[in-house]
Amino acid sequence: MHVITLINGSLSSQTSSIYALHYAKQLNLPLYILHVKGKDSLEEVQKSADDLFALAQEKDVESTFTVFDTLEELTTFIEQKDIDMIFCSTRYRHALFDPSFVQTLIHKKLKVDFAIVKVLNTGYANRVENVVLPIRSSKLSVKKFTLFSTFVLAYNAKAEIYSIDKIYKSSFFEKKETTRLKELIFHLRHYFRLANMLNFKLSLKHDFAYGEGEMVRSHIGRNRFDLTIVGAHTSSSFFFSHPIDTLFEDPLINTVYFIPYEEK
Instruction: Give the domain ranges of the chain.
Output: 2-119, 130-253
User: How far is Cα 128 from Cα 122, in angstroms, rounded to an integer?
Assistant: 12
CATH class of the domain comprising 130-253: alpha beta
Instruction: Give pLDDT tens digits for 47-65.
Output: 999 999 999 999 999 999 9
Instruction: Give pLDDT tens digits for 120-133.
Output: 888 889 999 999 99
What is the second-level CATH architecture of the domain 2-119? Answer: 3-Layer(aba) Sandwich (3.40)
Tell which wins on pLDDT, 81 or 246. Answer: 81
| pTM (2 d.p.) | 0.89
What does the H/E/C string look like for 51-116? HHHHHHHHCCCCEEEEEECCHHHHHHHHHHCCEEEEEEEEECCCCCCCCCCHHHHHCCCCCCEEEE
Whole-angstrom CA distances from 6 to 46, 60, 101, 153 are: 12, 20, 11, 23
Whole-angstrom CA distances from 179 to 12, 58, 157, 207 are: 42, 48, 28, 12
* Residue 168 DSSP code: -
